[in-house]
Structure 1
């Protein structure tokens, strides 16, 4: 279904059915500055009441499919958010991870080059080893798991292309999808404490958690301004999972004495995690006018969305 309007640039989103994709489509429709082309694998899973965008089924690992969709819609801007992001699954299924996170980016690059599209690509703090966080844009990557390696290879493909491009690196994205299909640390802590459970949360891993709406806004700012180069698009507070759990308990007035500190040695995970990442976001604040919410403000937004969903 093609509902493009004349005289507006066309903006194509990959991964539109996912958390970031949903936030991008919603915000772009509110702003009304682009013809929005939402793409995802399979059928459209966006809310039926949302109007004013086109949807196309597109498998990013299928080069011909990608080329066909790009030729049909001729996007002026592409926001590439689709990826395999389960870090442990990426470690155990490296070929699938490579196809979705590296080869697929190659397909997007070729199609975008043909259409002269500006590409905004979403990347991750996991390209770093966590030895020297928080990181600025010019820090030297050194991934310690295959997910991070795949995302770094994708960045290299884009940087070596003939495209005009911007890379939006982000950290620990949290939010609520419209169908409640995905949990996050806030929802997990809230439900666990409401159920009276004791929680163990690590106090030796540091991140700058990012509200999904803020990541969407940062990507849109880059798209609107055709902002070239690498931008850190994340929250501004360096927190541990323990800190996040305490803030969640305080916000919802739950029993925070059930939240216990532990360290990473207590957990066995397939893929290694960097200990201290997080981003310095002065560049995005200064050049893009990016203004992320605090973690407590993020919890408040999620609480309102929960009330609307109930």
Structure 2
């Protein structure tokens, strides 16, 4: 029997890729409307599904800090409304940013969570709601990229390359650049293995924002300069952790599942687009 999967956030960087790949893999996919879930009019549609992959969120961390009601609505209320209407299995996409600021080495799933921003606090509240059902799964991921999309980080860097002589980026924040294709492959694996609880899913390797930006710029331009930004120039409304890096401890030790290094994944995917 074909598994019937609903996807929230289907227009986003992750959701649009996920819908396409799931359909290519012969799953039955339903695109779930954000507002219909919030106004409780998705009940009948949801009852036809086996699994919902919940990608929808307000991901602009600074906007969440400045507009906390908007963040709560998109990142907590939406999740609670989904849970109220759907009693099947939910896979929730979260962020390694929920771990917080207290380590200078990559986080594992067993580490405490001490989020430093409103966005990540709201993501954590949603995680806790999702995990009240032991059949559900939370997937914490890193800095997502898709070179083939006109959304997201790489698209923004391409615009900077066109409009600026010199690009600056922070050497004070580290994380895991993670391809959307890596995450989607992992989600399919989790579906097939019926993995529950909490996992990290990131590409291997830790990078500074500067490392990440410089590699993108090197791949799309001929000698465009990237410089480290002084810390004073990198003040943001949201007190984002300087360390959002993680390792896929559960995927590797429990399931023997390994992802590619971010540098290799980025270089390969950029060469195709």
TM-score, normalising length from structure 2? Answer: 0.91
Q: Tell me the equivalent position of 1:275.
A: 242
Tell me if the contact between 1:205 and 1:264 (Cα under 8 Å) persists in the aligned partners: no
**Is the CA contact 1:193–1:254 (under 8 Å) kept in the aligned structure 2?**
no
Contact 1:170 1:232 (8 Å CA) reproduced: yes
Whole-Å Cα distance in 1 between the matches of residues 163 and 232 of structure 2?
26
2:140 maps to which residue? 169
CA distance in 2 between counterparts of 1:198 and 1:174 reads: 22
Q: 1:240 aligns with which of 189, 195, 208?
A: 208
Q: CA RMSD in A?
A: 2.1
Give the structure 1 partner of residue 25 of structure 2: 31
CA distance in 2, matches of 1:12, 1:59: 13
Equivalenced residue count is: 271
Post-superposition shift, 1:163? 4.9
**Alpha-carbon distance in 2 for matches of 1:9, 1:105:** 22
Per-residue CA deviations over 1:81-138 (Å, capped at 9, x if unaligned) read 011111011111111211111111112222222xxx2211101112122331410001
Residue deviations 1:165-200, cap 9 Å, x none? 11100111111465x2x241x344444345551111
Question: What secondary structure is seen at the aligned counterpart in 2 of 1:280?
Answer: coil
Aligned counterpart in structure 2 of residue 18 of structure 1, from 12, 21, 27: 12
Q: TM-score, normalised by structure 1?
A: 0.80
**1:262 aligned residue:** 229
What are the residue-to-residue correspondences of 1:42-191 with 2, within 5 Å? 59-62=36-39, 64-71=40-47, 74-113=48-87, 117-132=88-103, 133-160=105-132, 162-176=133-147, 178=149, 180=150, 182-184=151-153, 186-191=154-159
CA distance in 2, matches of 1:152, 1:20: 19
Indicate the structure (1 or 2) with the bigger Cα radius of gyration: 1
Structure 1 segments (4+ residues) deviating >3 Å: 186-196
The unaligned stretches of length 5 or more in structure 2 are none
Whether the aligned pair in 1 keeps the contact of 2:206 and 2:245 (CA below 8 Å) is yes
